[in-house]
Structure 1
Amino acid sequence: MPKAGRASMETDKDSRLGSLVAECIISLLEEGPRDPAGWRDTMDELGREWGPEAYSALLFVLAHLEFTASKAREHWERVLTQWEQLNASVPDGVDIRVAVLHYFLRIQRKLKNPAIVELKILKKTEDSAIFDGLTRLHNFRYFQDRVQNEVKRVGRYGSSLSLLLVDADDFKQYNDTRGHLAGNVALRRLARVLAKSVREVDVVARYGGEEFAILLPNTPKLAALQVAEKVRQAVERAAIGREGNQGAPPLTVSLGVACAPADAVDAEGLVDKADRALYLAKSLGKNRAQPFSDQRREFTRVDAALMGRFSALADQTHPLTTLNLSEGGILFLSRHPLPAGSIVQVQLGLPPAGQPIDCGVRVIRVVEEDEGYEVAARIIDLSRPHERRLHAFLAEMRARERALAAAAPRSA
């Protein structure tokens, strides 16, 4: 499995492990084993299912102490030994909570002033620290921590991380005309639609007010744009706000999309780029998904007839011939029509050896010609190796053009 794929699986597992083991432990405390042998068997089973990290999660749930997997397993074995010794000296025996408390308070002295708290109450308190009370999505604080960690994973594993910033269009007007209670109902419905539109590994958070954030681990920009469009359409289909009034305008959303490392290499930059893309989506009429692109850059186009292919769907490809291209866009001829605004994957063969580059593009203009269509597209997704390959080709072509211009005879 590719390293980036493993990173995505690790992200998924890490994010769910603590919560799942916590729920399992709480359930076992109520109706599970009562003796060391029963708990040993139970944890062995959890360890086989989740790996050695299950022991770290167990001790964090019971004592709020953090250990590496190997250290947690070592402590757990000692807890079991101490527990058996306690049971031998106490007529009625003790349960796991007393055994863990005794071990870390009297033996290891890791606890100084422990407090007795119901685990359900503790978990509820912890949840309130990372979940939004209205929508039950993750809150801004959790998002801030998670985006920092996910960007670090990008640097470590060489994967991609995309961020969607989602804003409910004209929500102030919605609140003013229908009331804040209706606005809260709409936000809860919107939150459910967002959560159902993405994968379990993705992170959906309430960013603030009527704005939401969606983190897409191991997702390049082109795929993120497709997810953003899927989200936009799902919100549109949900017809939020039309309950009991089919004539009322439904709630829609605008989305800004940015990707690390293509657009930014740190969390602050990623959020900033997605926010700028969201602002542009709002400026262009709302109810749309907009990728970040550095509009300040201007590129000189190079005339080049390159052969290639493009695909709008995974199993359908069509030939194309470029007319010109630059670092920011491609003008090509195709016999297959493409709607403006569509997102397609393009593969071009660069001379001298036909080295391929793959890029995601958004179609910005289509002109019907006698024998096909002239398509102008902006490059929105290009890996670093292919970007370097394209830049080298364009630099060589421009150098040739300058040399030809310098060698051309000048008229008197």
Structure 2
Amino acid sequence: MPDAIPQHPLQNVPADDASARDIEKILDGSEDAISTPRLAEIVGGDVPGDARERDLLRKEQERRPENFYSDLIHAISGLQYPEDEACKMWKDILLHKMEMSQRMGRNVGIHVAALDYFKNLRGELEQVHIVASSLLLATARLAITDGLTGLYNHRYFQDRLERELRHAREVSDCVSLLMIDIDFFKVYNDLNGHIAGDVALREVAETIRSNVKEGDVAARYGGEEFAVIMCDTRKEDAAGAAERIRLAVEGVSFPSEEVLPTGNLTVSVGVAEFPQDAHDRTGLIAHADRALYVAKRSGRNRVCAVVGDRRMTRRTQHNLAVRWHVLPNDGVFHTFECRDISLEGMGVYGREIPEPGRVIRIFLPGAEDDPVLGQVVWRTEKSDNGMAAGVRFVALDKRQERNLMEAVGP
């Protein structure tokens, strides 16, 4: 039987990769890592002839991830430099390669040029060892991927999202973000062991990778949480993709998943869109994470999309008695029953409810020391001498949102 063909260290990298694929092409000597022939000449050591060419070079450099040149130099030499210094070194190495090739009458290769540059010109390498290019490629691959799942890592995700948002802002496009969390993963991990937990993480990662379109960027955000960047994708379409991922994971048979409270391993997904929900990277992640939190609190194994600024999956609760008083504080506490609670507001029923327009302070069970403000929007008399009213929350912060969802319960 013939020997198994060894797996290329980058063969599973998605085709849209803007870092590992480029590093692979550069180390393999391919010119198409650069977007235009003239730009290849400039990056290869030629001096830009005019302002237009200098602008081309600047845009080419901006196309790379924030740590691209630092990772590239590290892959070649094992040395670590700040990104700006590494970028300058790379240009010097390419110029040195061109000069060596001209003198020797043949292409000396980027590895030989880099070796001579660091050993003889800079004197920073003393004990030089010859290593296979596959090891260099594997090193470059490790710089941007998660070792367990093979998806992109957290650092690359942050860099890539920042670049995609910058591009979307320039061309007035949209970017959607999925935040995906495995339900009850700690329970699964504790009861089945860390090896089973690792297997589950890899299986979920592969399911995510298999259910996103080419051009989407799937990453392990941390722990049992994953993220998917979807460029030029509206939230409605992203939510549909999230639902496909949710159903696909639900359909996988995980070992010993019957120990979970739900009987099988599932995921919850939060969805947000730039620029509809947020205008920067931090805000977009926060909105998607908030939607994920709502999905978890709404029963798990579901998709939730943040609509506007604060809408969430609506819930009904008929037995939540809440204390409140009118502002300014009249010193008298009242109680009403809450129904149809959301992050926007709630319906209430009680015998004493102020007229529409009045602001009340609401003391949630278990969070009386951090009351929330609400404004009565409408009120109507009930036949049993009680009143029904609609209350809209005013300026909830994230801590109060968590308190509200905790009070409502699963």
The aligned residue for residue 80 of structure 2 is: none
Deviations 1:277-306 (A, max 9, x none): 0011011111110001357579xxxxxxxx
Secondary structure in 1 matching 2:87: coil
- In structure 2, the CA distance between the partners of 1:170 and 1:96, relative to structure 1 (3 Å rule), is closer
- In structure 2, the CA distance between the partners of 1:79 and 1:104, relative to structure 1 (3 Å rule), is farther
Structure 2: which 5+ residue stretches go unaligned?
1-13, 46-68, 78-85, 313-343, 345-410
The aligned residue for residue 144 of structure 2 is: 130
Using the TM superposition, give the Cα deviation of residue 238 of structure 1 relative to its aligned residue in structure 2, in angstroms. Answer: 1.9
2:230 is aligned with 1:216: yes
The aligned residue for residue 124 of structure 2 is: 113
Secondary structure in 2 matching 1:250: coil
2:287 is aligned with 1:273: yes
- In structure 2, the CA distance between the partners of 1:276 and 1:210, relative to structure 1 (3 Å rule), is same
Using the TM superposition, give the Cα deviation of residue 165 of structure 1 relative to its aligned residue in structure 2, in angstroms. Answer: 0.4
The aligned residue for residue 298 of structure 2 is: 284
Aligned counterpart in structure 1 of residue 179 of structure 2, from 165, 168, 182: 165
Q: Distance in 1 between matches of 2:310 and 2:20?
A: 45
Aligned length: 261
Instruction: Read off the aligned partner of 1:183 and give its amino acid letter.
Output: G
Aligned counterpart in structure 1 of residue 103 of structure 2, from 85, 97, 101: 85
Secondary structure in 2 matching 1:205: strand
Secondary structure in 1 matching 2:226: strand
- Give the TM-score normalised by the residue count of structure 1: 0.53
Using the TM superposition, give the Cα deviation of residue 100 of structure 1 relative to its aligned residue in structure 2, in angstroms. Answer: 5.1
2:178 is aligned with 1:177: no
- Give the TM-score normalised by the residue count of structure 2: 0.53
Contact preservation (8 Å) 1:221, 1:258: yes
Secondary structure in 2 matching 1:66: helix
Q: Distance in 2 between matches of 1:284 and 1:87?
A: 69
Secondary structure in 2 matching 1:164: strand
Using the TM superposition, give the Cα deviation of residue 120 of structure 1 relative to its aligned residue in structure 2, in angstroms. Answer: 3.5
Instruction: Read off the aligned partner of 1:290 and give its amino acid letter.
Output: C
Contact preservation (8 Å) 1:161, 1:216: yes
Using the TM superposition, give the Cα deviation of residue 21 of structure 1 relative to its aligned residue in structure 2, in angstroms. Answer: 4.5
Using the TM superposition, give the Cα deviation of residue 16 of structure 1 relative to its aligned residue in structure 2, in angstroms. Answer: 2.9
Using the TM superposition, give the Cα deviation of residue 94 of structure 1 relative to its aligned residue in structure 2, in angstroms. Answer: 5.9
Contact preservation (8 Å) 1:166, 1:256: yes
- In structure 2, the CA distance between the partners of 1:158 and 1:103, relative to structure 1 (3 Å rule), is same
- In structure 2, the CA distance between the partners of 1:25 and 1:144, relative to structure 1 (3 Å rule), is closer
- In structure 2, the CA distance between the partners of 1:291 and 1:57, relative to structure 1 (3 Å rule), is farther
The aligned residue for residue 351 of structure 2 is: none
Contact preservation (8 Å) 2:94, 2:110: no
Q: How does 1:263-342 map to 2 (within 5 A)?
A: 263-294=277-308
Contact preservation (8 Å) 2:22, 2:33: no
Secondary structure in 1 matching 2:178: strand
Using the TM superposition, give the Cα deviation of residue 273 of structure 1 relative to its aligned residue in structure 2, in angstroms. Answer: 0.4
Using the TM superposition, give the Cα deviation of residue 81 of structure 1 relative to its aligned residue in structure 2, in angstroms. Answer: 4.5
Secondary structure in 2 matching 1:206: strand
Q: Distance in 2 between matches of 1:133 and 1:47?
A: 25
Secondary structure in 2 matching 1:16: coil
Aligned counterpart in structure 2 of residue 66 of structure 1, from 67, 87, 97: 87
Secondary structure in 2 matching 1:238: coil
Deviations 1:51-106 (A, max 9, x none): 666678989657685379xx96x985774353231459xxxx96653345557887
Secondary structure in 1 matching 2:255: coil
Structure 1: which 5+ residue stretches go unaligned?
1-11, 29-41, 299-327, 329-412
**Aligned Cα root-mean-square deviation (Å):** 4.1
Deviations 1:189-244 (A, max 9, x none): 01100011102311111111111111111111111111111111111122333689
- In structure 2, the CA distance between the partners of 1:151 and 1:178, relative to structure 1 (3 Å rule), is same
2:273 is aligned with 1:259: yes
Q: Distance in 2 between matches of 1:58 and 1:289?
A: 48
Q: Distance in 2 between matches of 1:100 and 1:232?
A: 47
2:34 is aligned with 1:20: no
- In structure 2, the CA distance between the partners of 1:133 and 1:99, relative to structure 1 (3 Å rule), is closer
- In structure 2, the CA distance between the partners of 1:23 and 1:149, relative to structure 1 (3 Å rule), is closer
